[in-house]
A and B are shown apart, each in its own frame.
Chain A
């Protein structure tokens, strides 16, 4: 397996979406190719860091305000008939 082939399957590999055979081919490649090992490992870390980052959490007070605004508008729209898309 060449590095470019490895890279093509990287997303499926990280997502656990490969059959056993392709997976073991990839892992063979990882065992000797340091570059691909590092790319794979740091890509996984990239995903984990973003997943755990809690960027853009909705603050509770804003959340409450938005929800009541939504529900008020919803009940108003019911009175004024269906909305157009």
Chain B
């Protein structure tokens, strides 16, 4: 089986040029950076906050913070990774404000069953996406990922949806690489298990929807 390819095809060679121009006060260069990454930041923010208005605020606040702190950006990492770090922090703050009763932290050790094999392994229908219409599928996927703890959800979104590398995800979340890998494995397995309910092969004669 072939490896899964990341979503974003890097490198963006002129990203650094844009950042340097923005640092010198060229706002149109900064606007170009906004254009380049606003969709990603919005997606990440909405996955973390699970709230549309909060996600809109996060997009604005994250870019504004990036703008105000450009001088501190060291250029050792990619601008995008740095921006994601700012956005994740803003999004977590929103989440904590909205759900103060629940501890929301990325580095807490999330308790789950150990990494033993999933008990119930049901094979899926060959084209699971086609078992539901678009709206149903969207609803299933949204509810399923929302059920994950914030720490797992965030790692999965950065790695598997946004296509950051393990190293970039570790930088963006300020976690170690082993911590990222262990969260990613659990997130993937939990999502798989939850989706199985919807995507398993149905008994013959049952028919697809």
Contact = CB atoms under 8 A, between A and B. Distances in A.
Query: How big is chain B's contact interface, by range?
Result: 35 or more
A41 B189 CA distance: 11
Contacts of B4: 14-16, 44, 47-48, 51
A1 interface: no
A50 to B, nearest CB: 6
Contacts of B141: 49-50, 53, 55
Interface in B55-78: 55-56, 59-60, 63-65, 67-69
A36 to B, nearest CB: 8
Contacts of A35: 117, 121
Interface of B: 1-4, 7, 25, 27, 30-31, 34-35, 38-39, 42-43, 46-47, 55-56, 59-60, 63-65, 67-69, 115-118, 121-124, 128-129, 137-138, 141-142, 145, 156, 160-161, 163, 166, 181, 184-185, 188-189, 191-192, 195-196, 199
Given A39-B121, A55-B145, A74-B67, 6 more contacts: A10-B185, A39-B118, A45-B124, A47-B188, A51-B163, A56-B43
